[in-house]
Structures are given as structure tokens and as C-alpha cells.
Amino acid sequence: MRSSVNLTLAQINPHVGNLRYNLKRIKESWSLAEETSQMVIFPELALSGYPPEDLLLRLDFIKACHKALEELLDFSLRMRSTAVLGMPYYEGDLYNALLVIGSGRVRALYKKTFLPNYSVFDEKRYFRAGEEPLVAELCGVKFGFSLCEDIWHPDGWERNYALGGCEVLININASPYHRDKYEFKENFLKARAEDNIVYLVYVNLVGGQDELVFDGRSLVISPEGKVLARAKAFEEDILSVSLDVEAIRRRRLLDLRLRERRAQEVKRVYLPCLQKCSPTEARLERVLEGEEELHRAITLSLEDYARKNGFEKVVLGLSGGVDSSLVACLAVDALGNERVVGVFMPSEFTSEESREDVYLLVKNLRIELLEYPIIGVYRTFLETLSSDGLGVAEENLQARIRANILFYLSNRYGWLVLSTSNKSESAVGYTTIYGDMAGGFAPIKDLYKTQVYRLAKYRNDLKRDIPERVLLRPPSAELRPGQKDQDTLPPYDILDLLLELYLEEGLGFEGLVEKGFEEEVVKKVIEMVKRAEYKRKQAPPGPKLTKRAFGKDWRMPISNGFLEVT
């Protein structure tokens, strides 16, 4: 008998802890797919949002999740299709669980086997690991289920599922984005599908959640290792696909690999096949790369941070430099120009070129501009403090005066302050604590300075809003006459490469010197990174964009006596 099945990948953007909202999105998406699918698949922890963090240590939150499940089960009585979704599930202990629901019942339950406890993940803090696989049959097709991390382990359930006759593997995810991750992930999943001669259905979360941004890009991969369907990047999406398992059965008759081992015995759950569906045409969204991908990641994270925390407007200081110019563009792209306010706060050291560039940027973006010169306030401070020089303290004082103005506006109008600091500056402490480093959200905190320039040029290719001079002038904080960043820092192309190898690849002093960096430069940069640790612990959140970002992904002690350079 010929067997086929229609599946829908429901790539939604949940709001952590907002169970009413998440339940509404699940119901809406399930309803949209009802007529075309026999199974609708949602991401990991779709009901609670991911990651719930210490909400999972609250019994009232767990009870609320189960109450929301009861409401969803009542809703399922109206549906003929089956749904697969993730939620925190309490059964004597707390599990990161995948539920198969339909006709008013939990038809099957799978508990995540491998709990990630590295990088930004802390799942062993909250969950107990499951120990049992799950196989279900729907409309004559056999499915094996897993949860995110499970599929990355060589001793996971995938091979056992294939040996036991499963034709489709369902893997639901909350896999956060970082640069260069997607290509590796897709190639890995292709190999999993091809090695096990299965259709692999990979459903990922989408949306911004504090320091994390989830890129979606859910996938369906054929047993030949080809991508049959791909959902949108950085957007909610409903993606349907028809799978003909006859192709798998034919291929397995010709491929002897799956006959060489015996499968572990797994109890099979039979799901009611309540409707027939006409074949549907799969959709294959294009792959994003480079600066386009970074642009979409940052704007989604900023949009969601503002929306999920109830901020109607954002405000940022505009200096005429590339960092603030780029952040202003990203804010407009994420929120619209009517929700962005720029503030120009010139000092006696602000150049006429900077003023001109700020005003041209504001005109191009059509955002509101407020101007508050800080010369008088700065001189009052100097008189009060009996300052008679112009050193680092006086330079930083200017940055802190500007931050005070921004936070006054935030306090008065309820606006979200955007920090414009980048990763290069944060790494070496070339940003003022309680000054330009301060903010409620830092959109480019995980971009190195060279990446800032590349992204700014990409953004100008879309629409020439940033004055060309901003991209050509040597970067300067303009806190004293004639100041340039390179007065005290190595050139950014050298600094950023050194920082990337040190922060993300874990190279130490000797390894960096072996790479060809000058010993004195390496020593200076490492000492600057270490000295700035206490500052970074007080920095605002911003999206993780690289393999290792400051924040949850970087847990270096402040009081640190390890001597890397002797």
C-alpha cells in the first residue's frame, strides 16, 4: 500500500513566560495548517518560550504550563490533525519534553535525552534527562522523535529509529543563531538524513530573547541529503510539505547498511489518521549570508526586545561616528523611523564635520533629533571638581554627562536607551562605564569594529543613509583635540583578528605570537581585556552574533589572578 503524509512546520516566535500569547500563536498556526496537514510540528519549548531560565524553578510557573496544556488539549478536540510541540513537563521531576497531542489527549511523550550544558545553555540546572525513545505511526508512516541536542550526539536515537523502520525523523529545536553556524548545521543534518535513509524534519524557533536570537530556517531533508523545503530566516513561517515514503522503502531494499544491526525494541504509538490531504508543493527559501544575515539577526533581536518589554520608542546618542550611525539605521529598520529618537550632545571637542554628518543622517532617516550641548555642564563639573587638566578622567566625564542626558529622557518618557558600543571596544575597555557603554540594549555589542564597517557599508548599499564621510574618517571618540582611536589601540584589522582568536578560539599568549602577532601588542591587548572584565559584567544585553559573545557565553571571573603573560 502506498504511504505518504503531509506535515506542516510551524516556525513561531514565542514570548518567554507569556503563556496566553504562546497558546494563541500555537492555536492560530495549528488552525492555518489544519486543512493541508496530518501533523503540525512546533519548536522546542514552544508553549513556555525558550529559554525560561529560573522561571523553571517556580512551581507556579510549571503549574501554569500544565494548565495551558489542558486548554490546548480541549482545543485539539476540534482538530483532525495531530500536533507535536515542546514544553516543560512535570512528571515526578521536570523534563524538557516533546508532546504528541490530538483528539483531546496527550498521545505520546518524549523526554529530551541529552541536556546541553555549555555555551549559553544551562539545561542540567533545570531538567532531568529522559531515557526512552519514541516511535509513532500515523497514516501508515513511522516517525521517530528527538529534541534539539539529541540529534547532535553520535549515540543518539537516530540510527535506532532507522533500524526499527522509521521513515521520518522529527527533531524540534530552539537553536540560537551565531555567524557561520547555519551552513555547518545544514550540512550536518544532511549527513544525518543520508546516513539513516530517512526524511529529516528539523523545526526551529524564531525570534529574539534577551541575548539570544533564533533564526528559524526550519528544514526538511530528503534521504539523499537534499534540502526539500526551507522556511524563512528570522521570520515566523508556516511551511507545509508532502513526504512520499515509498522512495525510502525502495532505497532501503537496495542499501544493506540498515540490515547489519538489530534495533533496540521500542514500543510503537499508533496515532489516529483522521483525514486525507492532497499533495502540497514544498517551498525552498533562499539562504542568507554575510552582512545580510547579520542585519536580519540584529533587527529582529531589537524589534523583539522592544516589543516583548513594552518599549514604544528607543533613544540613542548620535556622535557622527560609524557605530551610532549604524545603530540608528538598525533601529529604524527594526522599529520604523517614528519610534527612533536621536540625541546630539556636542562638546567643545566636537568637530563641524561630526555635526554635519549627524544632521545629514537624521535627515536621511527622517527621525526626531534633540540637541543638548554639554559644554556648560562639563565646565561646571570641572569647576566643582577643581580639575586643571585634560586626562582620561575628564574625557570619560563627557561620556558620562551624555549618558545622564539619555537616561533622563528614558526616565521621563519611557524610552529604551540603545548603547552603541561594539565588541572591539568592550573587549579592551575602550568604552566608558556609565557613559557610552550604558544602555538598556546594545544592538552591536557582539560586532567587532571591522564588522561594524562592513555592516554599515552593506546597509548603505540598501539605502544611502549614512554619510559617506562617516565611513572614511578615522574613528575618534572626540573627547580631546585631534583624538584618534589608533592613538592607543592597534589598527582594528589587527586588533579584531587577535581578539577573535583569543576570545572565540581560545588561543593564549604563545599561540597568538606563533600566529605572527607582535609580542608587545599581544601582551597589551590581553592585559586590556582582563582589566575591562568588571566593566563588561555591567554592560547591557545585546544579541549573540559570534561563536562566543560577552554575556552568558563568557563567564570569566573579575577577580582573576591567572597570569597569562609572564
Active-site residue set? 44, 112, 148
Q: Please report the DSSP string for 421-468 in residue order.
A: --HHHHHHT-S-TTTTT--SB-TTTTS-HHHHHHHHHHHHHH---S-H
The answer for 189, left when phi > 0, alpha when psi is -120 to 50, beta otherwise, is alpha
Task: Please give the single-letter amino acid code of residue 381.
Answer: F
Question: Do the Cβ atoms of 316 and 417 come closer than 8 Å?
Answer: yes
Q: CA–CA separation, 243 vs 21, rounded Å?
A: 31
CA atoms within 13 A on the CB side of 556: 20
Asked if residues 544 and 301 have their Cβ atoms less than 8 Å apart, the reply is no
CA angle 216, 220, 224 (to 5 degrees): 140
- Residue 112 CA to residue 235 CA, distance in Å, equals 26
- Specify the DSSP element, H or E, that contains 343: strand 340-344
Cell 515509498, located at residue: 246
C-alpha dihedral (477, 478, 480, 485), degrees to nearest 10: 40
Q: How far apart are CA 66 and CA 305, in angstroms?
A: 27
Question: Whole-angstrom Cα distance, residue 33 to residue 48?
Answer: 21
Q: What angle (nearest 5°) sits at the alpha carbon of residue 338, between those of residues 335 and 343?
A: 95
Backbone angles phi, psi at 532, to 5 degrees: -90, 5
Instruction: Report whether 565 contacts 509 (CB < 8 A).
Output: yes
Task: For residue 240, list its beta bridge partners.
Answer: 8
86 phi/psi in degrees, rounded to 5: -105, 150
Q: What own/partner pairs with CB < 8 Å and gap ≥ 24 does 61-66 have?
A: 61/17, 62/88, 62/90, 62/94, 64/19, 65/19, 65/89, 66/90
* Cα 245 to Cα 6, 9, 35, distances in angstroms: 11, 18, 21
206 grid coordinates = 524564531
